[in-house]
Amino acid sequence: MVDISTTIGPLRLKNPTMLASGIMDEDAGSMQRMMDCGAGAIVTKSIGMQPREGYANPTVVELEYGLLNAMGLPNPGIELYGEEVKKLRTSNVPIIGSIYAADADEFVSLAEKMQRFGANALELNVSCPHAKQYGLEVGCDPVLLQEIVTSVKQNVSIPVFIKVSPNIMNLVQIVQGAEKASADAIVAINTVKAMKIDLETRCPVLANKTGGYSGKAIKPIGVRCVYDIAQAVDIPIIGVGGITTGEDAIEYFMAGASAVQIGSAVYYRGPDVFKSVCEEIKTWMKNHGTTTIKELIGAACR
C-alpha cells in the first residue's frame, strides 16, 4: 500500500501537492475548483493591507520553456479577500494565506487578519522579483527577515512558512535566520528574475521590463536551492519551480522537500494536474518498492 500523505510541521496533507500562489486563487470559487481537482493544499494570492492594481499590460508572456510575468502583486486587499477565505472554512484541505508587506508591523497585521479569516498557515512572500519595496529588499535582509518572522510568530498560532528567492547570494544565511526566528517551513523557490526583448520594437516585452520566470526551465534551479537549504536547516521544505510530473516532484523530495507547489503546470496540463501528478508519484513508488513519501525525503542528501 502506497501512502502519499505528508506533513509540514503540524499540517497534515492527504497528498504532497499544493496550488502555488498566484494562479487560480483569485476567489473562493477558483480555489474550491483546485481542491476538487485534487490539490492537497491551497496557497492564496499574495495579499497586502490595501488594494493594489498591479502593473499595466502586458504582464505575462509565454516563452520557450515557461512563463514570464510581472503582475505587480494585484489584489483586493486583506479585508475583501478575507471574505473569500472565510467561504473555504469548511474544507478539509489546508488553506495557506500568502501575504506581503514592507515591515514587521504590517506583516503582523496581515497575519492576524489572515488567521482570523480562517487560514490554516501563512506563507510570507518576501521574494517577489519585480515588486519594489515588497520584494527582494525584504527577503535578502537577514536582520529584517528575522524581525518579521519573530514578530509574526509571537502574534499568531498557525504555522508560518517563508518563501525565498533564488535571486540572492545569501540564501543559506536567510533560511538559517528564518529557522532561528522559529519559522515552521521554507518555501523554495519564487520565480527567477528575467527579461524578454521584442526584436522588432527593440523594447522589453513586459510593461515592467523585468519579470519572474516560472515553468520547467527553472526546475534545476529549484532543486539545487532545495538541496542547499536541506543541508542548512532542520525545518521542512516545500519545493516550487517547474514541477509538471510526478517524477519532477520525486526529484524535489530526494533533494529534501516534504511537499511541492504546482503553478505553471496548471496552465500546461490543466487543473487535473494535481490528480495526475499524485498518480504518477504512486506509480513510481510502486515500481521502486517505496511505500511512504518520508522514505524519499532527502534521499539525495544522505
Annotated active-site positions, please? 128
Instruction: Decide: helix, strand or coil at residue 201.
Output: coil
Nearest residue to 143 via CA among 174, 166, 169? 174
Instruction: Decide: helix, strand or coil at residue 274.
Output: helix
Q: Count other Cβ atoms within 10 Å, centred on residue 216.
A: 18
CB 6 within 8 A of CB 16: yes
Please give the single-letter amino acid code of residue 15.
N
CB-count exposure of residue 176 (10 Å: 0-12, 13-18, 19+):
middle
C-alpha to C-alpha distance for 133 and 106, rounded to whole angstroms: 13
CB 189 within 8 A of CB 204: no
Supply φ then ψ for residue 123, to 5 degrees: -120, 115
Residues forming beta bridges with residue 66, ordered by sequence position? 63
What are the grid coordinates assigned to 157, written together?
498560532
Q: Which residues, including other chains, have CB under 8 Å from residue 166's CB and lie 6 or more apart?
A: 188, 189, 190, 192, 218, 221, 222, 225, 241
